[in-house]
Chain A
Amino acid sequence: MLLQHEVSAAAHPLAGTVVEWLWLLPLLPLLGFVINGLLSLVPATVLGPGDPDMAHGADGAHGEAGHGVAVHAHETADEHGAHGDDHHPVVRHRFAWLASIVGPAVLAIAFGLAVAMFFAMRGAGGGEMHAPFVQRYFSWMPAGTFHLDAAFQLDQLSMLMVLVITGVGTLIHLFSIGYMQDDPGYPRFFAYLNLFVAFMLVLVLGANYPVLFVGWEGVGLCSYLLIGFWFSEKANADAGKKAFIVNRIGDFGLLIAMFLLFANLGTLDFVAVNENVTRLAFGGPLITTICLFMFLGCTGKSAQIPLYIWLPDAMAGPTPVSALIHAATMVTAGVYLIARSSVLFSMAPVAGLTVTVIGALTAIFAATIGLKQWDIKKVLAYSTVSQLGYMFMGVGSGAYVAGVFHLATHAFFKALLFLGSGSVIFAMHAAYHHTGSHEDAQDMRNMGGLAPYMRVTWILMWIATLAIAGVPFFAGFFSKDEILGSLFLRAHDSTLADARWLGIPGSAVLYGAYALGLAAALLTAIYMTRMMIYTFHGPNRTGEKERDHLHEAPWIMTGPLVVLGILSAVGGWLNLPAITSFLGPVGALDRWLEPVVGESALRVTNGVAPEATHSTELALVGGAVAIALLGIIIAAVRLKPARLVPKAQSPEEHGIERVLANKYYVDEAYDRVVVEPTVGLSRGVLWKGIDQGIIDNVLVNGSARLARGFSSLGSWVQSGQIGTYAWVLVIGVLAVLGAFTIR
């Protein structure tokens, strides 16, 4: 089987084109990582009291009362670390200029290469090209019947992902030049960021599950390193560790899925798995189990219930990291995995329904939490969790293209939102920095009325907000609509609708998910508008002195914002629905991805492409638009930014507001139910009880004590009195003689 594909790869239409340079894609950022990593090890900043990096640990000491406050306090401290402080001179890294060139350059070159590959692919037939282009480099793990090659493959899905990753990645790298300019760990930051992109590309280019897994865990590692980038704060280091461990729980699921696949199909190559998987019984327990375990992996990486808890904490990292890793690319890896394994999921309707339900629940659940967050990045974090839920609703219900479409548009507008918030935080921080204030630069209660001070950011963030809310003709409108529409259409005449999920008919589940999706859309519009109003409108609450220092970020930061703004506005062009055919070609992405997921999508809908009547489609779209507008209007009418007071003077929340602000106390519950019992059990029972108590004390040292007991008996007999010994000897001799005589 392997051989066959090597033959076909040689005859592949892409052979001999620029795509032959596939291996260079991840290698370029890896090279950047090596260079920047070496730079970061060069001691280039003066250690001592003059080093702001040293100082910001001390700065974080203030105001750590209460849980919520502590979180904000350390983030303030981080920003102090990032941008220096009045008390200390700003110390930049000696080789910052080199890192600023190398870091983004490798990404830009990779993006250029990816674009060239895209055109090569279009030239070779684009959506008509049915086999992926596979490149095998060397045998990775040969073991008996198990053959695993280090191999990359490029197909239409990977191509799309590569373009998003390198494109958005380049923009975020450029933004970081400005955002991180005063951080002493500057080269280290770019090293991690480059490494992340390298692993992300391995993830989407891998030609089999284990290679994908290399990227999968690799991006988790970079996420860990970047969340804990300002590691001197325990909370940051904790957040990084939490992300890694929670992701590992998901990885456990992915590993089991791989083992099951190998045990039953004997291969882990995507191509071979897709060819052989039809040998398994449709909808049988085996394929369902495989898909569910795989989805466990997705819930970890893509922050879905029940493993979403790490993503909000991950906002402890620098804002560009949140944009790149925790919004645009890494967290969508789960969606990519399901689209990549669409053949498997289309064989398991129950698993598909599970994905849809979890996605819908996550979407609504996270959206409610997003309503009451004050930290601007936390709002966006929960928004990301919620939007990822949409993507899972899409891929779960067999609308793989819709899910991937939303993945792409979400990458545009969420990256823009995060970078925009970064720009806001940058301005806020600079203002507080000038006056030496230690207020929280991320809390929206300290913002307000920023629009006049930062026009570019303001306009661009409104574009992104309209996009995420689903206002017509912005990118998010098309992708979200497509997901909701396909949920509706698949509620009848599909394998999902015919299956039963925990006894509930599949069609009811899908209608329910559709309703939840609509509700979440309403909430999305509300909380996003709320964020915009509190940040940019109403009176300014930053402070009298600080106000004069508020200003727009430099061009190196706003430039990428503009590009993302354009993409957020027109990204819907990627996949226009039929009713908007006046805007351009309809369903470009549908046709592009058809060779990858088309067959699976058809299997879900019983072989017929679902077609809505014109009136149904208009009704669906109309409903969604109405809900989005309703949300914006509700927020605009109900919210009174004038009544807000700065964070320091804010009263405590009560009732349901308090529950929402505290994220339903899920973290606390996990701590009580999972973490504390595990640690307690390990320490109290396993270590002190079993290990030290029973095994070591009773069994091991017990046997030693037993031996010592016997020997002390012998020692007592050895009195040292030779007379006694002589008596014993004589009595013994007499006894022996006597025994012989009497017998």
Chain B
Amino acid sequence: MREFLDSIGYDSWVLLALLVIPALAAMGIWVHGAMLGDNDARDRASGTPRQIALWAFIIEFVVSLGLWWSYDPSTAAMQATLDLTWIPSWGVRFALGIDGISLMMVLLTTFLMPLAVLGSWTSIRIKRHSYYALLLLLTTGMLGVFVARDLFLFYVMWEMMLVPMYFIIGIWGGERRIYATMKFFIYTMVGSLLMLVAIVYLGIKAGGGTGPNFAYDAVQRMAGSGGMTSLFGAMVPASFLMFFAFALAFAIKVPMFPFHTWLPDAHVEAPTAGSVILAGIMLKMGTYGFLRFALPFFPDAAMHPAIRTTFLVLGTVGVLYGALVAMVQPDFKKLVAYSSVSHLGFVMLGIFALTTQSIQGALMIMINHGISTGALFLLIGMIYERRHTRELAAYGGIARVVPLFAALLTFVSLSSIGLPGTNGFVGEFLVLLGSFQTAPYLATFATMGVIFAAAYLLWAIQRIIFNRLDRAENEHIPDLNARELALMLPLVAVILWLGIYPAPVLRRMEASAQQLVTQVSGVAPAANVASAGNP
């Protein structure tokens, strides 16, 4: 495989291709829509946009899959790099590259997108051209965030994915979609504006008087060599302010307690694919930002005892709080939204606990959450298409009507609960195991999250598929069709694969995670009591 990839020069063009393919496909859909003219009826009847989107995403996935083999897990250096001049007068370059952290996020994105299209196949009925074009543009933005090696490019991509999502929720969403999408947009925007200020400051400082330089490496070199001065009359070290600017943007995106309230609204109102992408990919940008920028750039701020403890506590609070609030939700989507808060709390705990295990575990949860929660949202979407309600109380006993749906819902819920043998366990176990070494008490509290996770999800699925079938309108729900089954099976396969044999994934992250721990903590990783006794 590697030889083949090398022979076609895969590494040199793959990342650019990943950004360009969806953009081109979006353009194709737009051209097709323009040819149809401004005609709603013809737009509604047209199956072309979803076909174009599906095939574009499948090609995208196949192209990205080569990264799995071409990636060299032995090094933490950026790979498949590409560096083009973009805006020379501002020192902005079009620089791309991936390491073990972004590799998994890229693959997660390209894996989920075709499924998101399949999940929207029949549920999107109006403005189909715009919808699929926006999905494709969104993908370019999301992938751009994960592969950008230039802060300015990163920021452009970061904002670029905001706009399509705004429209996806605002146009194809539920009843309160305008409120939800405004909240989502403004909330996220507020965070990212401060980050823009910080990026500009860092770029100028990194340029060292010869014009700004936004390259990731340059900024990190500058930050590492104490290139930042104190601001506001030496009261606050600049690195602390910069950390807060970044951390706020990312914490909102994560979303970390208490910045999470946009999420339930956005999730509930978003169409299925919107929820899948929001939960599956976009939330990961927050935690990715912490791993890529906030921690390596400003280790002194991030590892300051007070700040670190704050984040660890907020992560733990998020775990328990999200789970408890999820338990009492009457709306299934909202329940899953709060469960996201809980899962992402584990990730935050893992990141700030800063051991190799906890970082790798955090990355695993980021992937797992994308898969499992994505699958849950897809399933909710399927049942919503049939019954047009997400109220748990409106269901009950449908396992005997829709056995396939019930089996899949149970399976996916179990993976979300973190049952060993499914993906969820690997991530949570590693995060907690790793966190326990640096923050044992908080990790103990966070471990209680596994109890509540079982409580809220099992209670929810009981109210949907078990109990007595006592509503006439539930008696004739059709079971999943071939398309829906086909889109769930890859998810099921990945859930099992990551649960039973996650080692290939973990190995590809290991070098990057270890490097991060080294950079941030300033010492060699693995200062375990453990290694002392092991020959």
Q: Do A and B come from one complex?
A: yes
Residue of A678, A681, A683, A695 near B261 (CB, 8 A) is A695
> With a CB–CB cut-off of 8 A, which chain A residues contact B187?
700
Residue of A43, A144, A216 near B526 (CB, 8 A) is A144
- The answer to the question of A545 belonging to the interface, with a C-beta cut-off of 8 Å to chain B, is no
* In the complex, chain B residues 445-489 whose Cβ is within 8 Å of any chain A Cβ: 447-448, 450-451, 454-455, 458-459, 462, 465-469
Q: Interface segment, A252-260, A351-359, A488-496?
A: A252-260
- The answer to the question of B281 belonging to the interface, with a C-beta cut-off of 8 Å to chain A, is no
| Given A144-B357, A252-B448, A138-B501 contact (CB < 8 Å) | yes
* Interface 0/1 of B347-372, CB less than 8 Å to A: 00000000111001100000000000
- The answer to the question of B404 belonging to the interface, with a C-beta cut-off of 8 Å to chain A, is yes
| Given A57-B468, A262-B530, A265-B530, A141-B426 contact (CB < 8 Å) | yes
> With a CB–CB cut-off of 8 A, which chain A residues contact B436?
259-260, 262-263
> With a CB–CB cut-off of 8 A, which chain A residues contact B327?
678-679, 682
* In the complex, chain B residues 60-93 whose Cβ is within 8 Å of any chain A Cβ: none
> With a CB–CB cut-off of 8 A, which chain B residues contact A104?
none
Interface contact B440-A682, CB-CB below 8 Å: no
Binding site secondary structure of chain A: helix
> In whole Å, how far is B339's beta carbon from the nearest beta carbon of chain A?
13
- The answer to the question of A506 belonging to the interface, with a C-beta cut-off of 8 Å to chain B, is no
- The answer to the question of B234 belonging to the interface, with a C-beta cut-off of 8 Å to chain A, is no
> With a CB–CB cut-off of 8 A, which chain A residues contact B513?
143-144
Interface contact A142-B420, CB-CB below 8 Å: no
Q: Interface segment, B24-32, B164-172, B503-511?
A: B503-511
Interface contact A145-B531, CB-CB below 8 Å: yes
| Given A218-B420, A263-B437, A686-B324, A700-B262 contact (CB < 8 Å) | yes
> With a CB–CB cut-off of 8 A, which chain B residues contact A683?
328
Q: Interface segment, A243-251, A458-466, A551-559?
A: A243-251
- The answer to the question of A146 belonging to the interface, with a C-beta cut-off of 8 Å to chain B, is yes
- The answer to the question of B434 belonging to the interface, with a C-beta cut-off of 8 Å to chain A, is yes
- Determine which residue in A218, A266, A679 has the highest number of CB atoms from chain B within 10 A of its CB, and name it: A266
Residue of A143, A233, A679 near B328 (CB, 8 A) is A679
- The answer to the question of B305 belonging to the interface, with a C-beta cut-off of 8 Å to chain A, is no
| Given A1-B534, A53-B400, A218-B420, A686-B321 contact (CB < 8 Å) | yes
> With a CB–CB cut-off of 8 A, which chain B residues contact A267?
530, 534
Interface contact A57-B433, CB-CB below 8 Å: no
Interface contact B262-A140, CB-CB below 8 Å: no
| Given A146-B357, A231-B399, A256-B444, A221-B419 contact (CB < 8 Å) | yes
- The answer to the question of B522 belonging to the interface, with a C-beta cut-off of 8 Å to chain A, is no
Residue of A142, A221, A234, A266 near B507 (CB, 8 A) is A142
* In the complex, chain A residues 18-77 whose Cβ is within 8 Å of any chain B Cβ: 40-41, 43, 47, 53-54, 57, 60
Residue of B261, B355, B447 near A256 (CB, 8 A) is B447
The CA of A143 and the CA of B428, in the complex, are separated in Å by 13
Interface contact B506-A143, CB-CB below 8 Å: yes
The CA of A150 and the CA of B507, in the complex, are separated in Å by 16
Interface contact A276-B531, CB-CB below 8 Å: no
* In the complex, chain A residues 206-249 whose Cβ is within 8 Å of any chain B Cβ: 210, 213-214, 216-218, 221, 224, 228, 231-234, 237-238, 241, 244-245, 248-249
Interface contact A266-B533, CB-CB below 8 Å: yes
Interface contact A146-B433, CB-CB below 8 Å: yes
> With a CB–CB cut-off of 8 A, which chain B residues contact A615?
none
Please give me the residue from chain A that is nearest to B406 by CB atom: A231
Binding site secondary structure of chain B: helix
> In whole Å, how far is B503's beta carbon from the nearest beta carbon of chain A?
5
Interface contact B528-A266, CB-CB below 8 Å: yes
Interface contact B328-A682, CB-CB below 8 Å: yes
Residue of B262, B321, B506 near A142 (CB, 8 A) is B506
Interface size on B, residues (CB 8 A): 75
Residue of A41, A60, A141 near B429 (CB, 8 A) is A141
Interface contact B403-A232, CB-CB below 8 Å: no
- The answer to the question of A691 belonging to the interface, with a C-beta cut-off of 8 Å to chain B, is yes
The CA of A262 and the CA of B436, in the complex, are separated in Å by 9
* In the complex, chain A residues 647-684 whose Cβ is within 8 Å of any chain B Cβ: 678-679, 681-683
- The answer to the question of A687 belonging to the interface, with a C-beta cut-off of 8 Å to chain B, is yes
The CA of A279 and the CA of B506, in the complex, are separated in Å by 31
> With a CB–CB cut-off of 8 A, which chain B residues contact A4?
535
- The answer to the question of A264 belonging to the interface, with a C-beta cut-off of 8 Å to chain B, is yes
> With a CB–CB cut-off of 8 A, which chain B residues contact A690?
321
- The answer to the question of A719 belonging to the interface, with a C-beta cut-off of 8 Å to chain B, is no
The CA of A244 and the CA of B399, in the complex, are separated in Å by 19
- The answer to the question of A613 belonging to the interface, with a C-beta cut-off of 8 Å to chain B, is no
Interface contact A214-B361, CB-CB below 8 Å: no
> With a CB–CB cut-off of 8 A, which chain B residues contact A128?
none
Interface contact A141-B503, CB-CB below 8 Å: yes
| Given A258-B433, A681-B324, A141-B414 contact (CB < 8 Å) | no
- The answer to the question of A599 belonging to the interface, with a C-beta cut-off of 8 Å to chain B, is no
- The answer to the question of B126 belonging to the interface, with a C-beta cut-off of 8 Å to chain A, is no
> In whole Å, how far is A623's beta carbon from the nearest beta carbon of chain B?
43
Leading 5 A-B pairs by shortest Cβ distance:
A266-B530, A144-B356, A237-B466, A259-B436, A214-B420
Could you write out 20 A-B pairs with CB less than 8 Å apart? A54-B469, A138-B503, A143-B506, A145-B357, A145-B534, A217-B420, A217-B425, A218-B419, A224-B458, A228-B462, A231-B465, A231-B467, A233-B467, A237-B467, A241-B459, A248-B455, A255-B432, A256-B444, A266-B532, A695-B261
List chain B positions with a Cβ less than 8 A from chain A: 183, 186-187, 258, 260-262, 321, 324-325, 327-329, 355-357, 360-361, 397, 399-401, 403-404, 407, 414, 419-421, 425-426, 429-430, 432-434, 436-437, 440, 443-444, 447-448, 450-451, 454-455, 458-459, 462, 465-469, 500-503, 506-507, 510, 513-514, 517, 525-526, 528-535
With A144-B355, A232-B466, A265-B533 already in contact, 8 other A-B pairs whose C-beta atoms are closer than 8 Å = A54-B469, A150-B501, A217-B420, A238-B462, A245-B455, A678-B327, A687-B325, A691-B261
